[in-house]
Amino acid sequence: MRIGVLTSGGDAPGMNAAIRAAVRQADALGHEAWGIRQGFQGVLEKDWAPMPTRACANILQRGGTVLHTARCPEFLEIHRRADAAANLREAGIQALVIIGGDGSFRGAEALQREQGILCAGIPGTIDNDLPGTDRTLGFDTALNTAVEAIDRIRDTASAHGRLFLVEVMGRSSGMLAVHTALACGAEAVLYPESPDDSYQALVARLHANWLRGKRSSIVVVAEGDDLGNAMVVGARLRRDYGLDLRVVVLGHIQRGGSPSALDRIWGSRWGAEAVRRLAAGEGGFYLGEVAGALAVQPLARILDPRPAPPGDMGELVDILSR
């Protein structure tokens, strides 16, 4: 059996662990693994080659993805997915391991449903916003990167008695923002799923802190918050209240760096499990983790609503920052 492996969408630490596991599990079962570069764009352009097991040496600890990644708007078109399937069949690639997030899984679901190409998904996104899994590759690493950065910002915030707004990634999900805020002891957090009165609640919290003698504060802001990103919120606070504040946008440093042990372990488990199931003739699924156990979900579940951060965590950020 010839199995293609690709990474798609935004990169996430742990993708290389999943690639390595998929390739080496395929080899152990007597199958061929082919690396597809640039995600679905590589399928359309036939940008692939056999990937022997030794090609995966010394990639486990590396961030990013050795197969490179891209976003492919063309893949939204049904006739281009038909072209992709024809290219795969011509190359003798019978199944795909797709490592990516929501958009990647939607493409995989359509490809299997329309064209019958066996597809297995491995959740790779630092947003941790896929239904049916408690964990996605890269989230743990990105969380620890953000917390380490904010710990450093806390030092200078305390030294100057200053308010810092720190923006983390999360265009449509507050998972990373809420977990970061709780882990670093932030005074407040703003994220897409925040209550409608979140700005007023933020102002009230900062005012209460000031009356209690607290002169420095950290507010974590998700880039996709309904109020706007950290720059927008900061400008509003300056305009409304004349606050002396600084804005720090962590940006893409959250994506990079060596993956954490958890991201390496789950990438390895999922990569191997995906190949084992494809080799047994199974397709149309993605893997995840639920309550600590490896879980298997139908690809159609990617059409379900995105999970929101646990409601108690936002409340806990407020309680513990008093």
Kind of pairing, strands 188-190 and 217-222? parallel
Burial of 301 (0-12, 13-18, 19+ CB in 10 A): middle
Distance between CA atoms of residues 150 and 219, nearest Å: 10
Beta bridge partners of 286: 121, 297
Give the contacts of 194 (CB within 8 A, at least 6 positions apart). Answer: 174, 225, 226, 227, 314
Measured between alpha carbons, how far is 29 from 197 in angstroms, rounded to an integer?
56
- Among residues 127, 129, 140, 225, the one annotated as catalytic is 127
Number of residues that make up the chain: 322
Give the residue among 141, 227, 195 at the shortest CA–CA distance from 317: 195
CB neighbour class for 7 (10 Å; exposed up to 12, middle 13-18, buried from 19): buried
Tell me the C-alpha distance between 311 and 14, whole Å. Answer: 28
Which of 234, 199, 159, 205 lies closest to 317 in space, CA to CA? 205
Q: Give yes or no for a contact between 129 and 238, defined as CB atoms under 8 angstroms apart.
A: no
How many C-beta atoms lie closer than 10 Å to residue 211's C-beta?
Answer: 8
Is 240 a catalytic site residue?
A: no
Secondary structure of residue 141 in the 3-state scheme? helix
Catalytic residues: 127
